[in-house]
Chain A
Amino acid sequence: MARRSPVAVWWRAYRHHLRLARNAALAWIAGLTALSAGVAVTVEDRVGSEAERQLLESMHDVPAFEALQGRMVEIGTMEGFTLARWGMFGILLAVWAMLAAVSLLRRAEERGHVEPLRAGVLTPRGLLAAATAALWTWLAVLALAIGASHSALGFDPPTAWALGGAAALLGASFAAAGALASQLAATRGSAVALAGTLLGAALAVRVAAPATTTPDWLWWATPFGWMGFLHPSDASQATVLLALAALAAVLALAALALGRRDLHAGLVGGEEASAPRARRIGGQAGLALRVTAAAAGTWAIIIGVVTAAFGLLTHDFIDAMAGMATMVELGREMFGMALDAPEGMVGATFFFVAVLLAAAAAGQAAAIREEEASWRIEHLLARPVGRTRWLVTRLLVSAAALLAIALAGGVVAWAATRLGGASVALGDALLGAVNVVPVAWLTLGVGVAILGLAPRATAAATYGLVVAAFLLDFVGPFLELPDRVLDASPLRHVAAAPGADVDVTAALVMLAVGIVAAVVGVLAFARRDLKEA
C-alpha cells in the first residue's frame, strides 16, 4: 500500500467526520432554519393590531420573560420578534453542537473505531482538528441557510446574515467546548458532564442577567447573552460576531493545545490511581445502576442549575407581575399558570424541567441501546441472563433515576426560591417535580419500543420525538397550527403544578401509553436478532 501524505490522510479523516455528522447536521440545519423562518413569516399575523404590539412591547424589560426567552428588543418588529426566539433556539443549537463534538471525538473511540485511524499517520491533534473542522463546516452551512432564507423573507439583510453568522459561531464555540471537554475527561460520559456543566453555568448566568438584583453587564458575560444584542437598534452586531468568533477560536486552540492525550485516557480524572479501590459491581442489576448513575448525575446537575436559577428569580418575577394585571390574566388563560404567586413560578419552572427530563429519558433509551450497539450486551446475554430480564432491569433503573432527578430538582427549586426571598412549601415543590415524571416515563417507554422495533433508530428517533414535542408546545402556537396538531405534544398536557391542579387523567394516559410502549419494546426485543451499531 502506498504511503499517503499527512495532508491527504487528514483530508480523508475530515471527510469521514463530515459524513459521520451529516444526517444529524442536516436535520438540525433544516429544523432550525425552518423554525426561525416560520416565526419570521408569522410576525405580521401576530402583531396585527396596535394593542397586540403594545402588549408585546411591554414584555420588554420584564425580567421574568427575559429570563425565559433571552433579551427582547423591539419585539413588535419582524427582526425583534424572531431574534427574541433565538434565546431559546441558541440553547438548542449549543446543546447539539456540544453533544455532536463529544460524540465524534469520544464515542467512536470507545467503540474502538478510532484505533485504525490513529494507527496510521494521523496525529491526535490532526484527528481533533478534523472532527472540529467537520462540525464547523456544517455550522457554516447553517449560517448560509439562515442568512439566505431570512433575507429572502424580508429580514433586514445585514441582520439576517448577522443572525446566521452568530448562530453558527455560537454552535462553533460549543462544539469547541465539547472538543475541549473530550480532551480533559477520560470517558464520553464525563466529557458530556463537563461540557454540560459549562453550558448549564452559562445558561444560569444568562437567566440571571435580567433580574433586577443582578448587574446589567451580566448580559455580556456569556455567549447566550451576546445573542441578545443582534437587533440593528443595538448597533452591536459586529461586536457580537467578533466576540463569538474569538470565543470559538480560543476554545478550539485550547482543545488543540491539549490534544495530545493518549487514546482512552483523559488529562484529568486520575483514573488509574482510583482503580485499586474499585468496588464490586454485583450482578447485572448492579451494572445497570452503575452505568445509569453517571448520566443521571449529569442531568441532575443540569436540572438543578435550571431550577436554582428560576428559584432565585421567583421573588423578582412576582414583584414585576404585581403591576401587570393583563399579563397575569394572559398567563392564566394561555398557560394555566398563576404568574403572580411562587407556586405559579415553580409550575413554570417545571414546565422547562419536563422538557429536560424528557431529554434525559431519551438519553436513557439511547444508553440502553448503546449497550447493544457496542455489543457489550453479549457478555450478559451469552450468560444465563434472559433478554427480558436484562431490558426490564435497565428500564426500571432508568425510570427510578428519572424520578430521583425530578425529586432532586424539586428540592433545589424549594431551596432556591426561599434563598431568593420568596417562599414555597416543600410539598408543593415536590408535587411540581412528580408532576413532570409521567412525561419522562412516557418518553422512556416509547424509546424502548423503538429499541425493540427499530434498534438502530433509537437515539435519533427518541430525541427527535422530544424535540418535536418541545417545538410543538413552545413554537407551534405562534405558527397557528390547529389545536389537534398541537395536542399531539404530551408536553401540552403537563399541568403547571403546583400553581395549577395536576391533570390526573393526562398523567394516567401518559403512564398507560408509556407502559404499553415499553411492553411492546420488550416483547419485540426478546424476539429479534441483536443488532450491532
Chain B
Amino acid sequence: MVDHPVLDRAAVPVEEPAVPAVRMVELTKRYGGLTALDRFSLELGQGEIVGLLGPNGAGKTTTLRTLLGLLRPSGGRAEVFGIDAWRDPVAAHRHLAFIPGEFAVWPQLTGRQTLDLLGTVWGGYDRAYRDELIERLSLDPSKRGRSYSKGNRQKVAVIAALMTRAPLLVMDEPSSGLDPLITATFQQLLREAKQRGQSILLSSHILSEVEAVCDRVAVLRQGVCVEQGTLAELRHLHATTVEATYVGTPPPLDDVPGVDDAEVGDGVLRLHVTGSPDPLLKALAQAQVTAIQMREPSLEELFHAYYDDRADGA
C-alpha cells in the first residue's frame, strides 16, 4: 500500500529513501534554568518504528513538541524528511500525523466534526479508512467532545492521525487511557502501518508496548539519552544472568573480564556477564560444568537498571 494516493501526495522526501523520516541533532530544550532535553540525537529511518522510553518527566513530551516546532529548540535542530521543523513547520507537518498524550477536545464539536476538521486541515483523508478505524476502535462519533471520556478522546486522536496515512506518525504515549482490548487493536494498527511503510516515533513509559511494536529504542532519563539501539543491542550491553551447576572444584572466576556479582555456592554458581561471553566460557571450561542456563534481561530489568542509577544519584 505504499503507493496509496495520499502517500504519493506527500511529495519529494518520501521518494528519496536515503532521507531519514526524523533526524534530531543535538536537540536541546531548556525551560528557564531547567534542561528538559540535553543534546539528544536520534535518527529514524523510513519504515522504522522507534520507541522513546522514559518515566514521567524524562523529557518525552518535550522532545516530541520540539520536533513538531511547538517549542522552540534551545539548541540543535530537528528535521522531518529533511525539512527543518522549526523553520518550516508547515512543510514538515505535511508528512506527519501526531497523536498527543492528552487530547483536548472542542467541547461543542462532535467526534465526526472534529475528525473531519482535523482531516481537512491536514489536507485530506481516507474516508473509508476513517470508517474502518471508527469501527475497529468502537468510537461513537456522534457525541459531543465534552461528553467523551479520556479513552474516547484518545480514540479520536488516534483515528485523526491514522486516517491521513501520513508517511510519519509521531505519538506521545498514545495508548494512555485506552482499555486493554483497544490497546491490542491499536498495536495491530501500528503493525499494519509499518507494513504499509509508514515510519513511527512513539513515546511511552510502558515497556510492554515498546517491546511489542518497536524496532529500536532510545531511553531518556532526565532529558539525557542514556541508551539507544535495537532491543537486541540494548540487551547485549546489559548483563546476562548465568546459572551453572558443576562438580569438583569451582571454575576460577576472579579477573574474568565482564563478570560481576559472582556467587559461588555448593556446586552452583550464579553471575552476571556483560559484553562478550567468551572469557567466561573459557573460564567455565576449566571446571566440570553439568548444566548451564543463560537468560537475557527483559526490557523491564533494563529499565530498572537505568532508573535505579538515578535513585542512587539523586
- Contact surface of A with B, Cβ cutoff 8 Å: 110-112, 186-187, 189, 264-265, 271-272, 275-276, 278-284, 286-287, 290-291, 294, 374-376, 378-387, 527-530
Please name all residues of chain A whose beta carbon is closer than 8 Å to the beta carbon of B112 when the two chains form the complex: 278
Residues of B within 8 A of A376 (CB): 104-106
Q: Which residue, A111, A276, A375, A381, has most C-beta atoms of chain B within 10 A?
A: A381
CB-nearest residue of chain B to A374: B104
Shortest Cβ gap from A269 to chain B (Å): 10
19 of the cross-chain contacts (CB-CB < 8 Å) are A112-B104, A187-B107, A264-B107, A264-B146, A264-B147, A265-B146, A272-B143, A278-B109, A278-B112, A283-B121, A294-B108, A374-B104, A375-B102, A379-B100, A379-B118, A380-B121, A381-B89, A382-B100, A383-B118
> 4 smallest A-B Cβ distances: which pairs?
A264-B146, A382-B98, A281-B117, A384-B93
Query: B72 and A528: CB pair below 8 A?
Result: yes
List, in ascending order, chain A residues with CB within 8 A of B65's CB: 530
The 8 A CB mask of B101-141 against A (1 = contact, 0 = none) is 01111111110110011101111000000000000000000
Most B CB contacts (10 A, CB to CB) among A112, A265, A383 go to A383
Q: Give every chain B residue within 8 A of A281 (Cβ-Cβ).
A: 109, 113, 116-117, 120
Is A383 within 8 A of B121, CB to CB?
Answer: yes
Q: Please, which residue of chain A has its CB at the minimum distance from the CB of B91? A: A384
Q: How many angstroms from the CA of A386 to the CA of B69 in the assembled complex?
A: 10
Residue of B72, B104, B105, B113 with most partner-chain A CB within 10 A: B104
* CA gap between A375 and B105 in the complex, in Å: 9
Q: Taking the nearest CB of chain A, how far is it from the CB of B227, in angstroms?
A: 28
Cα A111 to Cα B118 in complex, Å, equals 20
Q: How far, in Å, is A164 (CB) from chain B's closest CB?
A: 39
Minimum CB distance partner of A111 in chain B: B104
Cβ distance A375 to chain B, nearest Cβ, rounded Å: 5
B272 sits at the interface (CB 8 A) = no
Chain B residues in contact with chain A, CB under 8 A? 65, 68-72, 89-91, 93-94, 97-98, 100, 102-110, 112-113, 116-118, 120-123, 142-144, 146-147, 160
Residues of B within 8 A of A374 (CB): 104
Q: Give CA–CA (A395, B35) in the complex, Å.
A: 34
Tell me if B68 and A382 are in contact (CB < 8 A): yes
Query: Using Cβ atoms and an 8 Å threshold, which residues of chain A touch B142?
Result: 275-276, 278
Besides the known contacts A271-B147, A379-B100, 4 further A-B residue pairs in the complex with CB atoms under 8 A apart: A278-B110, A278-B113, A379-B104, A528-B72
Q: Is the CB of A530 within 8 A of B71?
A: yes
Q: Closest residue of chain A to B99, judged by CB? A: A382
Contact present for A275 and B110 (CB under 8 Å): yes
Roughly how many angstroms separate A124 CA and B270 CA in the complex, as a whole number? 59
Q: Which residue of B lies closest to A280 (CB)?
A: B116
Asked whether B72 lies within 8 Å of A383 as measured between CB atoms, the reply is: no
Q: Are A378 and B100 in contact (CB under 8 A)?
A: yes
Tell me whether A382 and B70 are in contact in the complex, defined as CB-CB below 8 angstroms, given that A272-B144, A278-B110 are known contacts: yes
Q: Shortest CB–CB separation between residue B166 and chain A, in angstroms?
A: 9
- B146–A186 touching, CB < 8 Å: yes
Q: A110-B146, A283-B117, A528-B72 are in contact. Are A384 and B107 (CB under 8 A)?
A: no
- Report the separation of the CA atoms of residues A294 and B106 in the bound assembly, to the nearest whole angstrom: 13
Residue of A nearest to B156 (CB): A379
Q: How far is the CA of A384 from the CA of B70 in the complex (A)?
A: 12
Contacts of B118 in A (CB 8 A): 379, 383
Residues of B within 8 A of A189 (CB): 108
B116 neighbours in A (Cβ, 8 Å): 280-281
Q: Are B123 and A384 neighbours in the complex by a CB distance under 8 Å?
A: yes
What residues of A have a CB within 8 angstroms of the CB of B100 in the complex? 375, 378-379, 382
Question: Could you tell me the distance between the alpha carbons of A380 and B160 in the complex, rounded to whole angstroms?
Answer: 12
Complex CA gap A379/B161 in Å reads: 10
CA distance A264 to B143 in the complex (A): 12
Q: Are A384 and B109 in contact, with the CB atoms below 8 A?
A: no
Which of A110, A112, A529 touches B70 (beta carbons < 8 Å)?
A529
Residues of A close to B104: CB separation below 8 A: 111-112, 374-376, 378-379
Q: For B121, what are the chain A residues with a Cβ–Cβ distance below 8 Å?
A: 283-284, 379-380, 383-385
Nearest CB on B from A373, distance (A) = 10
A278, closest chain B residue (CB): B110
**Is B93 within 8 A of A378, CB to CB?**
no
Residues of B within 8 Å of A382, CB to CB, are 68, 70, 93, 98, 100
With a CB–CB cut-off of 8 A, which chain A residues contact B102? 112, 375
B94: contacting residue among A379, A384, A387, CB under 8 A: A384
List A contacts of B113 (CB < 8 A).
278-281
Inter-chain CA distance A376–B118, complex, in Å, is 11
What is the distance, in angstroms, from A350's C-beta to the closest C-beta of chain B?
Answer: 32
Residue numbers in B under 8 Å from A111 (CB-CB): 104
Distance in angstroms between the alpha carbons of A64 and B248 in the assembled complex:
114
Residue of A nearest to B108 (CB): A187
Cα A164 to Cα B19 in complex, Å, equals 71
- Assuming the A-B contacts A278-B113, A291-B106, are A385 and B72 also in contact, with contact meaning beta carbons closer than 8 angstroms in the complex? no
A227 to B1, CA, bound (A): 73
A396 to B103, CA, bound (A): 27
**How far does the Cβ of A174 sit from chain B's closest Cβ, in whole Å?**
24
Complex Cα distance, B70 from A527, in Å, reads: 10
In the complex, chain A residues whose CB is within 8 Å of the CB of B68: 381-382
Cβ-defined partner of A529 (8 Å) among B71, B94, B105: B71
Closest CB in chain B relative to A105 CB, distance in Å: 14
Nearest A residue (CB) for B120 = A283
Contact B117 A385 (CB under 8 A): no
Tell me the bound Cα distance from A287 to B108 in angstroms: 11
Give Cα A525–Cα B136 distance, bound, in whole angstroms: 39
> What's the Cα separation between A384 and B98 when bound, in Å?
11
| B117 touching A271, Cβ below 8 Å | no
Evaluate contact between A287 and B70: CB separation under 8 angstroms: no
Give A193 Cβ to nearest chain B Cβ, in Å. 13
A residues less than 8 Å from B107 (CB atoms): 110, 187, 264
CB distance from B9 to the nearest CB of A (A): 12
Give Cα distance in the complex from A271 to B109, angstroms.
Answer: 10
B72, B103, B146, B160: the one within 8 Å of A527 (CB): B72
Q: Say whether, besides A264-B147, A271-B144, A280-B113, A381 and B106 are in contact (CB < 8 Å).
A: no
For A187, what are the chain B residues with a Cβ–Cβ distance below 8 Å? 107-108, 146
Q: Is the CB of B110 within 8 A of A386?
A: no
CA distance A100 to B104 in the complex (A): 23
Distance (whole angstroms) from the CB of B172 to the closest CB of chain A: 10
Q: How far is the CA of A527 from the CA of B69 in the complex (A)?
A: 10
A284 to chain B, nearest CB (A): 5
Within the complex, which residue of A265, A278, A279, A375 is in contact with B147, where a contact is CB–CB below 8 Å?
A: A265
Given A374-B104, A378-B70: A386 and B89 interface contact (C-beta under 8 Å) = yes
Choose among A110, A286, A384, A385 the residue with the greatest number of B CB atoms under 10 Å from its CB.
A384
Nearest opposing residue in chain B for A281, CB measure = B117
Residues of B within 8 A of A276 (CB): 142
CA of A112 to CA of B71, assembled, Å: 23
| A286 lies within 8 A of B144 (CB) | no
Q: Report the Cα distance A186→B145, complex, angstroms.
A: 12
Instruction: Let me know if B72 and A529 touch, CB within 8 A.
Output: yes
Chain A residue, CB-CB nearest to B69: A381
Which chain A positions have C-beta within 8 A of B90? Answer: 384-386
Report chain A residues within 8 Å CB of B94.
384
Which residues of chain B are near A383, meaning CB under 8 Å?
A: 93, 97-98, 118, 121-122
Q: How far is the CA of A186 from the CA of B146 in the complex (A)?
A: 9
**A181 and B141 alpha carbons, distance in the complex (Å):** 28
Tell me which residues across on chain B come within 8 A of A264, comparing CB atoms: 107, 146-147
